[in-house]
Structure formats: C-alpha cells, structure tokens
Amino acid sequence: MKRRALIIGSGICGLATAVRLLENDPELDVTLLESEDQPGGLARSLTLDGHVADLGPHRIFTELPDVQEFLQDLAGEDMVTVKRTSQMFLQGSWIDYPPRPMEILRLLGPGKIAAVGASYAMRKARNIALGKSKRENFETVMADAFGEELYRLIVLGYTEKVWKIDPTEIHADIARVRVSAGGLDQMVKRVFIPEKKGQETALKKFLYIPGGVERLVDRLVERVEAAGGKIATGTRVTDLRRMNNGKWQVISEGPRGGRRTDSAEWVFSTMPVTELLDVLLARRPNDQVAEARRQMRFIANFLVAVVVDRPRVTENTWLYFPGPETIFNRGYEPKNFSPTMGSPNQTMLVLEITCHHGDKIWNSSDEELTRATLDGLEKTGLLKSSEIANTLVHRIPHTYPLYDLDYRRRLNFVWRYLARYPRLISVGRQGLFLHNNMDHSIHMGFRAADVVNEHPDDPQRHFYKEVRRFQKFRIVD
C-alpha cells in the first residue's frame, strides 16, 4: 500500500506542503482536509457586485530565494508590478506613509519638530548613558527608534487600535519584525540616500496577480491535483489518535455531517495551534499545556466591504487610520492593485476592524459594524453615505497571533510538547503561532515536507529545532 500523508487545512501553507511532498515522493498519497467549502484559507477573495478583494491585500514580495523561484514558476508572466502608495489620516490631514520628514514638518510646524528632535536625541543619550531597559516591550523599542514624541504621534494610536491592548503589554518582537518605517534616523536618511536591496524598510513597488490571491490558490490546487493529491472540502477534523501500528487516525466530520476516518504515516496541521491543542488535550489531558493554550490568543479581523458609486476613491493601495474618529484601522482599494478587481464606474473599499474574541466589537452585529464604518468614512472626508451602493461584512476569527510579554516562553513550551507526538507537525502562521507573511508560510510548508523526506521516522523532532529561525523573518510593509 502507498504511504500516506494527511494535511489539515488547505491554505497557502498546506498547499505548499502538499506540492513539496509530491515533488519529493510522487508515489506518496497526499490528502488535504479543509473545513471550509473551498481551499485557500486567508488567501481567498470576497466578491460583491462584481468587485473582488483579497481577505487582506496579498502583495507578492519575498526575500527567500526558494519562494521567489516557486512563485515565478507558478504565476510567471501573469504577475504585474504595482507601485505602492499609502497614506495615513493623522490629526485631520492625509500624509504619505511611511511619513516623509517634510510632511511631518508641515503637519507639526517648526516648534513641534524641534521637540520631536529633542525627544529623539534625549532618548539616544539616555540609552548610551544607562543602557537599554532589560524589560523591553513594543513601546520601549519603538520609542527608542523614533523618540517618545514621534512614537506617541504616529505609532501609539495605531498600535492600540490594532492590538486592543496597552503597547507596554506587547512583546518587543512585534516591533522588531515589522520594520515598516525604520527609525527616525532612517526616515531622514531615506530623503538623501536610497535604501539598498534587501535592507528596505518599506516597499516602493511589489508584484501582484490580477484577479487576486485566489488565482494563486487556484494554480496551487491545480498543481496538487495534477500530481495526484486530493482535497476534501467541508471536512472538519474533530479527533487525532496515534494507533498501535504507529500510524495516525484522523477523525473528521464531512460536508453532510457524516463521520470520516483517515489513517496516515504523517500528519501536518495548519489549523490554529490552539485548536490542535484542544484536540490533543481532549485525549491526553495536561494541566500545564492547557494553561499555556488558554493564554494563547489570536486577534480577530472583520472586513467591511463598501461599493462606491465612483470610479476611484483614492490612488492609494493602503490607507491607515490611527485616530479615534474611525472604528477601522486600515483600508485598501482593490482596483488600485489591479483594474480587473472592479467595474469602470464603481470601486470598492475594504476596511479592516480588529478585535478580541468576546469583546464589544466581536459581539456587534453586521449592521452595527457597517454603520460605524460609514460614519468613520464620512468623518475622514473619503466619501458620503449617499455614494454607497452596497456593503458586506466578512468575519475572520483568527488573523494575528497576539505576542504578549510572555509569549516566547509559552510558545517554546508548546513546541516542546508537540515534539513528543511522532510524525505530527504543526506548521504555518496559525499552526506555529507566528506573525508572518504569505511567502514565509510557503517556505515553512516546504521545510516541513523536506524534513519528512530527510527524517521520515521522527521529522517533528528535527522540525521543532528549526522553528525559532522562522521567528526572525522580516516583515516589510
């Protein structure tokens, strides 16, 4: 009989894992079990009145050679180059983002700019004299980079709005991996000296596939199926059991409520690690692991899509809203990524609203979220309610892993626990509780498959030794 691998989830990481497994061993039986009605995970699209939008814009950019080669082969000549233009609505005005020093000068005036410079210099001098704080957090790292004045002006409000907790309770890693604008010295330096390739702090252009990231998923699915892989949609995994013969038995519910049982030599899980732990702990309780799992939280994300009776609202790819005048923190206009995403006489804006499970926003109805979104759009002057043709709310329960101050210790403990389960690998953004981009997820899927090829008897032990390097991936906005 053929050896078999089961992959829980058919998002970008799960599909990339399947592709590499089948490349490494064309005789391997590979099946993906997907709880949704179609593959893609977060790399899917929403549609409204003929307009298309990614579930969060998935620009194509990578610093990983293996992923660069793979994406070029997968999408090839269909990819287009898009100029990145972004703005932030700050104190009632629109400024370019990342901000340019001259814009900051215009917005604040010479007096306030002097205070910003003095704040930055004082912070640098204090760190030289006393050394950096041993109790680093998001706020200390960003205040060191920008000075306290500029941090409070640009960074603080947006951070509180996205994460919904005090920035002093956020781990410094979130500041380190998101290098969007660099520090104050880098902002000034960029005015005079272009950034070197591989050291960019913000993209000036990126690649995109017309029609949205779902087109990329379609090609991944085609490649998996052409190699003999299978995808079972509408199939939610409910139990995992290690059998006496060393194989895994995977129990799932089918699309019509029927029970499905699969067995395999290897299992790859890309579902949120909290859900995987729930399944494992139900069979083998462990109080310490259960407590670690309880404290692992994901930020949820609501998308409010707004069809507008206007060819364009702005020329920007991204819009940022750090202030209290809007419930949403970020927006994007899909037609500015590709004209194929909408109609000639209308456009669509998609506004992102983050929240915690169980908070006021989470418990809001679609009508309440839509009303609050339209109110915010009017306050920013982007459009009037009379221009709205249609709206849609899409809810994403797991978007960003929340890095609190203790997340590293807790995550290392969870990884050591998972390494005890032979031939079971948790991988991907949600599966490893890592804040990363699409290219990183592809790379992790490749590596998970390669480790099985290199160490078929105990791949999990080798894989979890490598995962810490995934924490060092740069996220370039």
In order, the DSSP letters of 127-170 are HHHH---SS--HHHHHHHHH-HHHIIIIIHHHHHHHH-S-GGGB
Average pLDDT over residues 281-307: 95
Peptide linkage before 98 cis (omega within 30 of 0): yes
pLDDT at 61: 87
Please state, in angstroms and rounded to a whole number, the distance separating the CA atoms of residues 296 and 425. 19
pLDDT at 196: 57
DSSP run (H or E) holding 6 = strand 4-8
Dihedral sign computed on CA atoms, order 76, 78, 84, 88: negative
132-161: b (≥16 Cβ within 10 Å) or e: eeeebbbbbbbbbbbbbbbbbbbbbbbbbb
Give per-residue pLDDT as tens, 206-260: 999 999 999 999 999 999 999 999 999 999 999 999 999 999 999 999 877 789 9
Please state, in angstroms and rounded to a whole number, the distance separating the CA atoms of residues 74 and 82. 18
Average pLDDT over residues 293-318: 96
Please state, in angstroms and rounded to a whole number, the distance separating the CA atoms of residues 339 and 70. 25
pLDDT at 192: 38
The answer to whether residues 96 and 187 touch, using CB atoms and an 8 Å cutoff, is no
Q: What six digits make up the tokens of 122?
A: 């004082």
Which of 55-64, 91-100, 376-385 tops mean pLDDT? 376-385
Q: Among all chains, which residue has been given the structure tokens 């699969």?
A: 262
pLDDT of 435 over the 80 cut: yes
Please state, in angstroms and rounded to a whole number, the distance separating the CA atoms of residues 173 and 141. 9
184: exposed, middle or buried (Cβ count in 10 Å: 0-12, 13-18, 19+): buried
The answer to whether residues 423 and 265 touch, using CB atoms and an 8 Å cutoff, is yes
Please state, in angstroms and rounded to a whole number, the distance separating the CA atoms of residues 63 and 363. 39
Q: Which positions ≥6 away from 11 have C-beta within 8 Å? A: 39, 40, 41, 42, 43, 270, 428, 441
Please state, in angstroms and rounded to a whole number, the distance separating the CA atoms of residues 86 and 84. 7
Angle between helices 213-226 and 65-75 (to 10 degrees): 90
Q: What is the pTM of this model?
A: 0.91
Give per-residue pLDDT as tens, 144-188: 888 888 888 888 999 999 999 999 999 999 887 765 445 555 544
